[in-house]
Chains A and B, each alone.
Chain A
Amino acid sequence: MSPVLQSPVLQSPGADHYSSLSWGAGNPPSGSVGSPPIWKKVLYEHQPFPDNYVDDRFLEELRKNIYVRRYHYWAVVFEAGVVIQQLCSVCVFSVIWWYMDQDLLSPQKLCGVGLALTLLGYLLFDAVDQGEGRRDSGRTHWADLKSALVFVAFTYGFSPVLKTLTESISTDTIYAMSVLMLLGHLVFFDYGANAAVVSSTLSINMAIFASVCLASRLPRSLHAFAMVTFAIQIFALWPSLQRKLRANTPWTYISVTFFFAIFAMAGLLSISSVGALLFFLLLLSVAFLCPYCLIRLQLFKDNIHGPWDEAEIKEDLSRFLD
């Protein structure tokens, strides 16, 4: 005999009527026992309720939006500064290339200005956090100088090769590739988000690749050298200085971003006014419209949590294996 049949509830004479009971929600069957039985959320007891009974306590452990972050508008705008900076970097790079291509800017001038700004930035880099970062990393000025010299020497030595590297490829392909690579640079850049697509190495490699492609279309090999050096300065050195500025002196960072954006737009304006207008609208929407949308869309967030969620292991379990 199965244990079910031994259970008192199903053996009672009223047991049969549970099967013929109306399947309405929230009315526990009454009348079989003195006081109405109370439903319990357990499976091991045979309860005097139909199997599809819905209690008032149904879904009482449901929680909504418990991990939602509250955003403040201006904080989001501040964070959007990184995107603005990167868009402007790409814009400035393209504008400089155009000037070089049209022979409006001599490579000597670009190298000179670049060198001066790099030195200024280098001094700032240490000054901003009073040399704390340098002490932590333990890197000497001598090491920096060495790697800079090696890089410059190599680029200068290889610039004739760079110049002729892509001769067999059509110019349209080069432009398309550069645009693609610069877009890729923007997509994979580390804006501070913790996502799978972020890869700063890939991002910087794409930017350098784009600069090599574009440099190969310039008139002389000195142009190519100046272009690649400039790409390193604007895509590798400039973001790391920015990061430091942002962490230590937010107000300086805001003004730097602002002036950099003005500079980029002015440069673009000298080439194409429509382009400058579009770029201005782009910056405006990234800086102000997107944060607004983000905050508005937060209101529609409907994230459900409950006992059915897979538990997360919060501890660091690798310590047991070290």
Chain B
Amino acid sequence: MVYRRHCSCTNPYSSATCDCHATPRFHSICMVSDFFYPNVGGVESHIYQLSQCLIERGHKVIIVTHAYGDRKGIRYLTNGLKVYYLPLKVMYNQSTATTLLHSLPLLRFIFVRERVSVIHSHSSFSAMAHDALFHAKTMGLHTVFTDHSLFGFADVSSVLTNKLLTVSLCDTNHIICVSYTSKENTVLRAALNPEIVSVIPNAIDPTDFTPDPKIRDRSRITVVVVSRLVYRKGIDLLGGIIPEMCQRYPNLHFIIGGEGPKRIILEEVRERYQLHDRVRLLGALEHQQVRNVLVQGDIFLNTSLTEAFCMAIVEGASCGLQVVSTRVGGIPEVLPENFIILCKPSVKSLCSGLEQAINRLLAGELLSPETIHRTVSTFYTWRDVAERTEKVCVYNRVAQEVVLPMDQRLERLVRHCGVVTGCIFALFAIVSFLLLNFLRWMTPDSSIDIAVNATGPNGAWLRQYSTERKHELTRKRDPDACKEPSDLSAEH
């Protein structure tokens, strides 16, 4: 059997690239999350950018997500990033339904044919991510999980989800959080040893967010808000701030980008106070439009009520805006004090924060946009994130670790997650183990074709670009490289 459970520190597939006792230099990483393009958001761009940087560093990366409408099957993105859009049913909020078992056959097939060595799941809201972690542990693969969100402890729903997270993370090799607050939160939620939790922040592409002070209108003060218009982003607060501030400053204007159920509140406020010429609601923004909206403003306002790592304020600061934000979650860790004015999550405090920013702006005390951009652009880059994820801690470390064999895993589940939950999930683990063995008997690993590596060492994509693609010789010598990297998704 080519592909079997292994508890040693060596990687079973990439033995060619493995230099004996040390960990393999290149990993074969599978990112799993329900959230990926064409969906847009923080998790999606995190996965995409991280994957691109890891490919650049020579690793093989594939992404597994669920089908988005017409987009199903197997696709290739920039630089040969292979994405599997699995035909699974979407349950709620783009998250798939989970039975902990039904996705095993497909995921196992993909893990085997791609010779995956590390499973990297993203977002605790994604059922598929947890499923993949569960199956990977059954198959004896190394697992990494990135948590992107904060969660409370107070109500019944959070008690239940935290229990599930405990189960899911109790035998995961390593966990990444995006801020220290998020780490504290995750450690408490899942009752983890803090040493297996690393903090690696999110990043932005600073070249996408460059300032352009010429576009600003000097005759007025413009406050920009770019966020989804939902309760958690504090849009109710924004509905209170707008009339207050517009009464105090006659030349104050608001530009609001984003869409969501709370848009109605902003529209009502605009109607009620006759602010049609001063409050512009732009609706949903494309990623490339965000920068052009941001540079029109002087001040960036963020009213979030909870936030693990606020990418929006980094984007705002990178465009040279003074940031005013609520002091919640990981936000105080993100920017140094001279770039951000932190307020309590109340209308009064946010208004005084905005006033402070406006006074500084009028007095000319604000840092110049270029200075802010230059400083902020050194803080967070995807290359740094990828490097830390790969080298400094996670993948290299995880590859040396031992994946718990079945008996220890069951013991760990029962000991760590409480008797009742532990026993239930231990039962699930046993069923999934039996199912896996049944699948191995039905379709032995040897009868599964090994997929052509698009990325990673000897990746077809890179070789393809080094030679002329349409050249006849290439085709003769290297037929597999000529696979169509297009949107073919035949399912029959």
| Contact between chain A and chain B defined by CB under 8 Å | yes
A18 to B195, CA, bound (A): 15
The interface residues of chain B lying within 8 Å CB-to-CB of A321 are 239, 265, 268-269, 272
Q: Is A274 an interface residue (CB 8 A)?
A: no
From A6, A7, A50, A59, contact of B184 by CB (8 A): A59
Q: Is B139 an interface residue (CB 8 A)?
A: no
Assess the B347–A310 pair: CB atoms within 8 A. Answer: no
Assess the A51–B393 pair: CB atoms within 8 A. Answer: yes
Q: Which residue of A lies closest to B244 (CB)?
A: A320
Are A308 and B239 CB-contacts (below 8 A) given A313-B345, A314-B346? no
From B269, B272, B336, B346, contact of A44 by CB (8 A): B336
The interface residues of chain A lying within 8 Å CB-to-CB of B381 are 2-4
Assess the B347–A317 pair: CB atoms within 8 A. Answer: yes
Assess the A315–B240 pair: CB atoms within 8 A. Answer: yes
Interface of A, secondary structure class, is: loop
Q: State how many angstroms separate the Cβ of A3 from the closest Cβ of chain B.
A: 4
The interface residues of chain A lying within 8 Å CB-to-CB of B236 are 313, 317
Q: State how many angstroms separate the Cβ of B18 from the closest Cβ of chain A.
A: 19
A232 to B194, CA, bound (A): 62
A317 to B179, CA, bound (A): 31
The interface residues of chain A lying within 8 Å CB-to-CB of B428 are none
Q: How large is the interface on A (under 10, 10 to 19, 20 to 34, 35 or more residues)?
A: 35 or more
Counting chain A CB atoms within 10 Å of each CB, which of B199, B308, B309, B332 scores highest?
B199
Q: Is B370 an interface residue (CB 8 A)?
A: no
Q: Is B198 an interface residue (CB 8 A)?
A: yes
Q: Which residue of B lies closest to A302 (CB)?
A: B153
Interface stretch (choices B288-296, B383-391, B449-457): B383-391
The interface residues of chain A lying within 8 Å CB-to-CB of B377 are 3
Render B369-412 as a binary contact track against A, CB cut-off 8 A, 1 for contact.
00000000111110110011001111011000000000000000
Render B318-356 as a binary contact track against A, CB cut-off 8 A, 1 for contact.
000000001011101111100000000111100000000
Assess the B182–A3 pair: CB atoms within 8 A. Answer: no
A54 to B397, CA, bound (A): 17
From A43, A52, A59, contact of B195 by CB (8 A): A52
From B269, B346, B378, contact of A315 by CB (8 A): B346
Q: How large is the interface on B (under 10, 10 to 19, 20 to 34, 35 or more residues)?
A: 35 or more
Q: Is A145 an interface residue (CB 8 A)?
A: no
Render A177-203 as a binary contact track against B, CB cut-off 8 A, 1 for contact.
000000000000000000000000000
The interface residues of chain A lying within 8 Å CB-to-CB of B268 are 321
Assess the B196–A43 pair: CB atoms within 8 A. Answer: no
Are A308 and B151 CB-contacts (below 8 A) given A43-B180, A313-B236? yes
Assess the A320–B345 pair: CB atoms within 8 A. Answer: no
- Residues 253 to 297 of chain B near chain A (Cβ within 8 Å): 265, 268-269, 272
Assess the B195–A54 pair: CB atoms within 8 A. Answer: yes
The interface residues of chain B lying within 8 Å CB-to-CB of A51 are 198-200, 388, 392-394
From B151, B154, B237, B384, contact of A303 by CB (8 A): B154
The interface residues of chain A lying within 8 Å CB-to-CB of B188 are 59, 62, 304, 306
Q: State how many angstroms separate the Cβ of A310 from the closest Cβ of chain B.
A: 4
A41 to B346, CA, bound (A): 24
Q: Is A311 an interface residue (CB 8 A)?
A: yes
The interface residues of chain B lying within 8 Å CB-to-CB of A312 are 305, 345
Q: Which residue of B lies closest to A321 (CB)?
A: B268
The interface residues of chain A lying within 8 Å CB-to-CB of B185 are 306, 308
Render A277-311 as a binary contact track against B, CB cut-off 8 A, 1 for contact.
00000000000000000000000000111111111
Are A19 and B333 CB-contacts (below 8 A) given A311-B345, A317-B237? no
A4 to B345, CA, bound (A): 33
Q: Is A23 an interface residue (CB 8 A)?
A: yes
- Residues 24 to 66 of chain A near chain B (Cβ within 8 Å): 24-25, 41-44, 50-52, 54, 58-59, 61-62
Q: Which residue of A lies closest to B346 (CB)?
A: A315
A61 to B458, CA, bound (A): 49
The interface residues of chain A lying within 8 Å CB-to-CB of B154 are 303, 309
The interface residues of chain B lying within 8 Å CB-to-CB of A24 are 195
Q: Which residue of A lies closest to B391 (CB)?
A: A19
Are A52 and B196 CB-contacts (below 8 A) given A3-B384, A43-B179? yes
The interface residues of chain B lying within 8 Å CB-to-CB of A4 are 381, 383-384, 387
Q: Is B123 an interface residue (CB 8 A)?
A: no
Assess the B195–A6 pair: CB atoms within 8 A. Answer: no
Render A221-262 as a binary contact track against B, CB cut-off 8 A, 1 for contact.
000000000000000000000000000000000000000000
- Residues 50 to 104 of chain A near chain B (Cβ within 8 Å): 50-52, 54, 58-59, 61-62
Are A25 and B336 CB-contacts (below 8 A) given A7-B378, A43-B180, A311-B305? no
The interface residues of chain A lying within 8 Å CB-to-CB of B334 are 43-44
From A6, A7, A44, A307, contact of B335 by CB (8 A): A44
A7 to B380, CA, bound (A): 12
A310 to B378, CA, bound (A): 30
Assess the B240–A58 pair: CB atoms within 8 A. Answer: no
Q: State how many angstroms separate the Cβ of A38 from the closest Cβ of chain B.
A: 15
A42 to B199, CA, bound (A): 11
Assess the B336–A304 pair: CB atoms within 8 A. Answer: no
Assess the B380–A44 pair: CB atoms within 8 A. Answer: yes
Assess the A317–B387 pair: CB atoms within 8 A. Answer: no
The interface residues of chain B lying within 8 Å CB-to-CB of A6 are 378
Q: Which residue of B lies closest to A58 (CB)?
A: B194
Counting chain B CB atoms within 10 Å of each CB, which of A303, A306, A314 scores highest?
A306
By Cβ-Cβ distance, the 8 closest A-B pairs, closest first, are A311-B345, A51-B198, A4-B384, A308-B185, A3-B378, A2-B383, A310-B306, A308-B150
Question: Which chain B residues have a beta carbon within 8 Å of chain A's beta carbons?
Answer: 150-154, 179-182, 184-185, 187-188, 194-201, 232, 234, 236-237, 239-240, 243, 265, 268-269, 272, 305-306, 308-309, 326, 328-330, 332-336, 345-348, 377-381, 383-384, 387-388, 391-394, 396-397
Known: A43-B379, A51-B392, A307-B332. 18 other contacts (CB 8 A): A3-B384, A19-B391, A23-B195, A43-B201, A43-B333, A44-B379, A52-B194, A52-B196, A52-B197, A303-B154, A308-B150, A310-B152, A310-B306, A315-B348, A317-B237, A320-B239, A320-B269, A320-B272
Question: Which chain A residues have a beta carbon within 8 Å of chain B's beta carbons?
Answer: 2-4, 6-7, 18-19, 23-25, 41-44, 50-52, 54, 58-59, 61-62, 303-315, 317, 320-321
Would you mind naming 23 contact pairs between A and B with Cβ atoms under 8 Å apart? A2-B384, A3-B377, A19-B396, A24-B195, A25-B194, A41-B333, A42-B336, A43-B379, A43-B380, A50-B392, A51-B200, A51-B394, A52-B194, A52-B393, A61-B184, A308-B329, A309-B306, A311-B234, A311-B328, A312-B305, A315-B346, A315-B348, A320-B272
